[in-house]
A = this chain, B = another copy of it.
């Protein structure tokens, strides 16, 4: 059976203490001792599985509903004492050039943090490790976890944006390479990915702005850290916009090159048609059945006719080559 509770621990003074027994005990412990917080990590809980946490933290029914349903927008919401932050995780699948979207909810209270993960992307393992190695950061309390999660996720956005950039550069090469494969479908499907990317990262900007502007009391001591995350996010945001514009430009360039290619091909074809039309016409003339056609009786009439054909064809060929049609 898939474990719902992935990890649980109490953090006090920057160090981790594992929890024996029930979640409830942990919460009670944390409440007694003001200087520590509990961190529970869940993976795709269903309504029943989340019930315990909900009751323990006295969560609003809508907040609890958010925790079990994926497919939400990135957002920051306050329910009484609890802050809920929803984030989208992105992971780039190398084989298919696809972007997979996951979801992480962070419930942040005065002495606890509950992270709920949906879908594939899993940034929480490295986050926990990094945090446990930085007692300095952990001293800020539960908000440090929220910061570390945001930082990890946004850093990963940067990596995915870089992969998209590489894909675009490959498409550009394919477009401007003569005789290359058709890129229309690839451009369109990359555009889809970029739109999905934007849907994931764009609504996070106002969330982080609210934190960095100091409107969220819980994150008061870590504002400068969130400002750093916001900065990276804005960079990603600009990259995504630039990618969108570049893809449009790639497609238009592709259209222009197709038109150019077509014209070049048409010229080449027509040039050859012209070259072969001349001997055909001459042969037709000497195939006429008039009784009085002096050339037909000449001894060298035939080689002369062939010669004329060759000369005209050669002249035509040279002229067409010079004017760039061949």
Q: Which residues of B contact A281 (CB under 8 A)?
A: 276, 279-280, 283
Given A262-B259, A286-B289, A269 contacting B270 (CB threshold 8 A): yes
Q: Please determine whether B296 and A191 come into contact, CB atoms closer than 8 angstroms.
A: no
Closest Cβ–Cβ distance, residue A320 to chain B (whole Å) = 11
Docked complex Cα distance between A274 and B268 (Å): 12
Instruction: Name the contact of A231 in the complex, choosing from B72, B188, B252, B285 (C-beta under 8 A).
Output: B72
Q: Which residues of B contact A280 (CB under 8 A)?
A: 277, 280-281, 284
Q: Please determine whether A292 and B302 come into contact, CB atoms closer than 8 angstroms.
A: yes
Closest Cβ–Cβ distance, residue A187 to chain B (whole Å) = 7
Instruction: Name the contact of A289 in the complex, choosing from B199, B251, B296 (C-beta under 8 A).
Output: B296
A130 interface residue, CB < 8 Å from B? Answer: no
Q: Please determine whether B262 and A263 come into contact, CB atoms closer than 8 angstroms.
A: yes
Q: Which of A172, A288, A300 has the most CB of B within 10 A?
A: A288
Closest Cβ–Cβ distance, residue A277 to chain B (whole Å) = 5
Closest Cβ–Cβ distance, residue A171 to chain B (whole Å) = 11
Query: Quick one: closest B residue to A276, CB to CB?
Result: B277
Q: Which residues of B contact A269 (CB under 8 A)?
A: 266-267, 270, 273-274
Q: Which residues of B contact A273 (CB under 8 A)?
A: 269-270, 273-274, 277
Q: Which residues of B contact A289 (CB under 8 A)?
A: 286-289, 293, 296
Q: Which residues of B contact A277 (CB under 8 A)?
A: 273, 276, 280
Q: Which residues of B contact A187 (CB under 8 A)?
A: 253
Q: Please determine whether B285 and A290 come into contact, CB atoms closer than 8 angstroms.
A: no
Q: Which residues of B contact A242 (CB under 8 A)?
A: 195, 199
Q: Which residues of B contact A255 (CB under 8 A)?
A: 252, 255-256, 259
Query: Quick one: closest B residue to A263, CB to CB?
Result: B262
A305 interface residue, CB < 8 Å from B? Answer: yes
- Mark the stretch among A13-21, A41-49, A94-102, A221-229 that contacts chain B: A221-229
Q: Please determine whether B276 and A305 come into contact, CB atoms closer than 8 angstroms.
A: no
Q: Which of A250, A251, A252, A277 has the most CB of B within 10 A?
A: A252
Q: Which residues of B contact A290 (CB under 8 A)?
A: 286, 295-296, 298, 301-302, 305
